A and B are shown apart, each in its own frame.
Chain A
């Protein structure tokens, strides 16, 4: 596609519910990244993939967060048993290769009530 596409754009989840956030990177981009952006803050790194390999997941805040990219293109960020503190915008970015510009999607705004 023309840009990084994320869905849904908005998600309201009840506390304790599981959610899945989808990222479609730019076609041909090898690297894919997930960031979490709390209200009024800058984005914070969660995890990144090179093709289907998850090379760094050091930013995932707890074991309730899980990301996958099974075929090296689309990625899903899953949050189990959501808590209020998980409310944030989740941004996905992709790049052609490491050390080239990463392009961000519009994000998914998750609100846990």
Chain B
């Protein structure tokens, strides 16, 4: 099925570093969402974006809905060990329900050895 292009695929962080990841699509979405998934768990919603150009923060997380409606980024500031996990972007097709999402392949965040 259709998936979004999410990058990077993986990254290593050191505590205190800022982290940035992004998502692009060939299709327009009217809603972008960012989820975090821990091992053995389902995805948990972090941030939802509903308007092109919208910039939204949730604690140390900041996400933006691209003006073209075809991209979004997520920034994590001052990372901490519990930020480790897999982050997914997801786009909602126009007219769909919030559950009918197209997901990216994920960005895996790990701690630098």
Binding site for B on A (CB under 8 A): 4, 31, 33, 40-45, 48, 56, 59, 91, 93, 95, 98-107
Question: How far apart are the CA atoms of A40 and B105 in the complex, in Å?
Answer: 7
Closest A residue by C-beta to B93: A45
Partner of A45, one of B4, B48, B88, B100: B100
Asked if B28 lies at the interface with its beta carbon under 8 angstroms from chain A, I say no
Taking a contact as CB atoms under 8 Å apart, the answer to whether A99 and B98 are in contact is: yes
Enumerate chain B residues within 8 angstroms of A103, measured Cβ to Cβ. 42
Q: Of residues A40, A43, A98, A100, which shows the largest number of chain B Cβ atoms within 10 Å of its Cβ?
A: A43
CA distance A99 to B62 in the complex (A): 22
* Distance between Cα atoms of A59 and B90 in the complex (Å): 16
Are A104 and B42 touching (Cβ within 8 A)?
yes
The reply to whether B98 and A100 form a contact with Cβ atoms under 8 Å apart is: yes
Q: Which of B41, B42, B99, B102 contacts A31 (CB 8 A)?
A: B99
How far apart are the CA atoms of A76 and B90 in the complex, in Å?
25
Cross-chain contact B105 with A48 (CB below 8 angstroms) = no
Q: Top 10 closest A-B pairs, CB basis?
A: A104-B42, A42-B103, A33-B99, A102-B99, A98-B97, A44-B1, A43-B103, A104-B43, A42-B88, A99-B98
Interface size grouping (class) on chain B? 20 to 34
Given A98-B98, A100-B98, A42:B105 Cβ within 8 A: yes
CA distance A9 to B77 in the complex (A): 34
State A107–B39 Cα separation when bound (angstroms).
11
- Complex: A104 Cα to B42 Cα, angstroms: 5
Cβ-neighbour of A33 out of B4, B90, B100 (below 8 A) = B100
Tell me the bound Cα distance from A43 to B89 in angstroms: 11
Q: Which single member of B3, B45, B97 contacts A48 (CB below 8 Å)? A: B97
Chain B residues near A45 (CB-CB < 8 A): 1, 99-102
A4 and B42 in contact (CB under 8 A), knowing A45-B1, A98-B97? yes
A41 to chain B: which residues have CB within 8 Å? 3, 105-106
Residues from chain B with a CB closer than 8 A to the CB of A59 are 1
Q: Are A107 and B42 in contact (CB under 8 A)?
A: yes
